[in-house]
């Protein structure tokens, strides 16, 4: 039977969820394990129960809504994303994948379709790194790349541990129970806004992701010698900020010279001590994010940055230390899922382009335990993580339609 997405309903639900926020409209702020996050989860749970789905929650707060299949021994097909939002964000990031996944299930239900394999909608905990400084907390623990010991060591900005915070949010259970075995799901597919401008520039409604870039995150500390801005002559200075400035330009040049547009590098924080107008900076802390779809190329870029930073250190008499925060491997999307997405687009005569996800998502970690793919829809001007983030109702419905068709195929 033909599939018909209820466009008005999914748009209304996106708007309703956006109103559960700690920021004034149109901005959205939902930090994991806060009362607002809990209210949003309860709202979603109610929508899933209305759809006749079986809802459960694991010990890290990942929520699962199951549409049972005819063969209870077959590994389910899964879809989903996240609804937590960084401060002053938009209403579509992650949410389109969660509510689109729910509407895809309802679309199939309305046709009378019964899946052979169960279809499970997943709400991942804390895809954003806002509270604990690490992104994709829920999916990292599902696939085991974040150990229970490391998770228990996480603290938020107010020095509360993950254990304390989840207990306050009434999320209980043993963290050891969160991890899923490879093969638990037969496939996973995530619908998401592109968070970039390529689909809009190409005037295409859909992007099928072939690979997902992954970040290596570092903290860099440059330590020199402080002093009075008027009392220390230029020839005798060991200015930590001047050294950091050279290193920042080195980061940019290393990424530009990698030979691939898939290499990107960013210094997002520059924390200067003591931070006075009349004091020479004695210490600077930088955060560095290097991403690529090719792991050896990313490592080569990082080695160039480190080598040239040591040159700057020797030249300026400033010590430079690198501390790794995390280094995740990129992912190649499974042909099982990407080919199903291609067939689904063809069945509905919808044009698409194959592309790379330069932002990373829960799909990056789900790919460790299941054949995984991603479907992108355009977002206006490529804007994301800001209040004017926007995806059109037509594009949301289009993405949901293809997701539903893909879930129908993969669940047979």
pLDDT score of 325: 86
pLDDT score of 23: 97
> What digits encode the pLDDT tens for the residues 214-271?
989 999 999 999 999 999 999 999 999 999 999 999 999 999 999 999 999 999 999 9
Supply angle C-alpha 49, 127, 395, rounded to 5.
70
Note whether 244 and 298 are same-domain residues.
yes
Assess if residue 224 is contained within a domain.
yes
pLDDT score of 407: 98
**Residue whose tokens read 């870029």:** 301
The residues near 349 (Cβ < 8 Å, ≥ 6 apart) are none
> What digits encode the pLDDT tens for the residues 276-328?
999 999 999 999 999 999 999 999 999 999 999 999 999 999 999 999 988 99
Domain boundary among 300, 327, 354: 327
Assess if residue 404 is contained within a domain.
yes
Beta strand 319-327 with 214-223 is antiparallel
Domain boundary among 295, 327, 359: 327
Note whether 241 and 200 are same-domain residues.
no
Assess if residue 2 is contained within a domain.
no
Note whether 205 and 225 are same-domain residues.
no
d(CA 277, CA 99) in angstroms, rounded, equals 50
Note whether 200 and 221 are same-domain residues.
no
Nearest to 221 by CA among 275, 164, 273: 273
The residues near 219 (Cβ < 8 Å, ≥ 6 apart) are 285, 286, 287, 288, 322, 323, 325
Nearest to 372 by CA among 359, 385, 363, 382: 363
pLDDT score of 187: 98
User: 2 or 54: whose pLDDT is higher?
Assistant: 54
Note whether 113 and 31 are same-domain residues.
yes
Note whether 187 and 284 are same-domain residues.
no
Range of the domain at 398: 7-213+330-410
> Can you say how many angstroms the Cα of residue 210 is from the centroid of all Cα atoms in its chain?
16
Note whether 239 and 192 are same-domain residues.
no
pLDDT score of 244: 98
Query: What does the block give as tokens for 59?
Result: 């010990």
Note whether 177 and 243 are same-domain residues.
no
pLDDT score of 157: 86
Nearest to 89 by CA among 30, 172, 46: 30
pLDDT score of 47: 98
Note whether 207 and 259 are same-domain residues.
no
276-279 LR contacts (CB < 8 Å, sep 24+): 277/229, 278/228, 278/229, 278/230, 279/226, 279/227, 279/228, 279/229
* Host H or E run for residue 221: strand 214-223
Q: What is the CATH number of the domain that holds 68?
A: 3.40.630.10
Query: What does the block give as tokens for 31?
Result: 């930090």
Note whether 229 and 206 are same-domain residues.
no
Residue 109 phi, psi dihedral angles, 5° rounding? -60, -40
Cβ proximity of 150 and 134 under 8 Å = no
Assess if residue 1 is contained within a domain.
no
Number of neighbouring beta carbons within 10 Å of residue 113:
17
Assess if residue 286 is contained within a domain.
yes
**pLDDT band at residue 140 under the 50/70/90 scheme:** very high
Q: What is the CATH number of the domain that holds 272?
A: 3.30.70.360
pLDDT score of 1: 72
Total-model pTM: 0.92
Query: For the chain, how many structural domains are there in total?
Result: 2
Cβ proximity of 372 and 337 under 8 Å = yes
> What digits encode the pLDDT tens for the residues 395-405?
999 999 999 99
Q: At residue 143, does pLDDT exceed 90?
A: yes
Note whether 112 and 91 are same-domain residues.
yes
Query: What does the block give as tokens for 233?
Result: 């002559």
Q: What are the residues facing 182 on neighbouring strands?
A: none
> What digits encode the pLDDT tens for the residues 23-47?
999 999 999 999 999 999 999 999 9
Assess if residue 269 is contained within a domain.
yes
pLDDT score of 21: 98
Number of neighbouring beta carbons within 10 Å of residue 396:
24
* Host H or E run for residue 121: strand 119-123
Assess if residue 151 is contained within a domain.
yes
Assess if residue 264 is contained within a domain.
yes
Any idea of the CA torsion for 220, 221, 224, 230, to the nearest 10 degrees? Answer: 90
Note whether 108 and 200 are same-domain residues.
yes
Domain boundary among 294, 327, 360: 327
């Amino acid at each position: 039977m033909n599939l018909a997405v209820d466009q008005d309903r999914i748009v209304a639900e996106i708007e309703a969820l956006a109103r559960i926020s700690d920021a004034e409209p149109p901005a959205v702020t939902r930090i994991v394990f806060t009362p607002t996050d809990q209210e949003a989860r309860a709202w979603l749970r109610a929508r899933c129960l209305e759809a006749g789905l079986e809802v459960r929650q694991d010990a890290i707060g990942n929520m699962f809504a199951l549409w049972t299949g005819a063969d209870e021994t077959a590994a389910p097909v899964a879809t989903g994303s996240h609804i937590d939002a960084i401060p002053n964000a938009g209403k579509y990031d992650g949410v389109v994948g969660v509510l689109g996944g729910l509407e895809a299930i309802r679309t199939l239900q309305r046709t009378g379709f019964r899946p052979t394999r169960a279809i499970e909608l997943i709400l991942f905990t804390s895809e954003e790194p806002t509270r604990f400084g690490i992104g994709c907390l829920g999916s990292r623990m599902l696939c085991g790349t974040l150990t229970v010991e490391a998770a228990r060591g996480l603290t938020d900005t107010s020095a509360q541990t993950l254990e304390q915070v989840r207990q306050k949010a009434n999320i209980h259970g043993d963290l050891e129970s969160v991890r899923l075995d490879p093969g638990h799901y037969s496939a996973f597919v995530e619908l998401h806004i592109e968070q970039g401008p390529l689909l809009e520039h190409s005037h295409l409604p859909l992007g099928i992701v072939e690979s997902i870039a992954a970040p290596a995150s570092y903290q860099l500390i440059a330590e020199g010698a402080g002093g009075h801005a008027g009392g220390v002559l230029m020839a005798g200075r060991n200015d930590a900020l001047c050294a950091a400035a050279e290193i920042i330009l080195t980061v940019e040049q290393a990424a530009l010279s990698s030979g691939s547009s898939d290499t990107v590098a960013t210094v997002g924080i520059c924390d200067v001590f003591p931070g006075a107008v009349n004091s020479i900076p004695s210490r600077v802390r930088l955060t560095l994010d290097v991403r690529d779809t090719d792991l050896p190329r990313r490592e080569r870029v990082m080695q160039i940055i480190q080598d040239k930073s040591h040159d700057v250190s020797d030249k300026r008499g400033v010590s430079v230390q690198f501390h790794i925060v995390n280094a995740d491997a990129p992912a190649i999307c499974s042909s099982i899922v990407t080919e199903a997405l291609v067939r689904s687009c063809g069945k509905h005569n919808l044009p698409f382009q194959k592309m790379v996800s330069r932002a990373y998502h829960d799909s990056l970690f789900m790919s460790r335990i299941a054949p995984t793919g991603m479907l992108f829809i355009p977002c206006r001007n490529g804007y994301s993580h800001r209040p004017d983030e926007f995806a059109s109702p037509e594009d949301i419905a289009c993405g949901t339609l293809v997701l539903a068709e893909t879930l129908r195929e993969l669940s047979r």
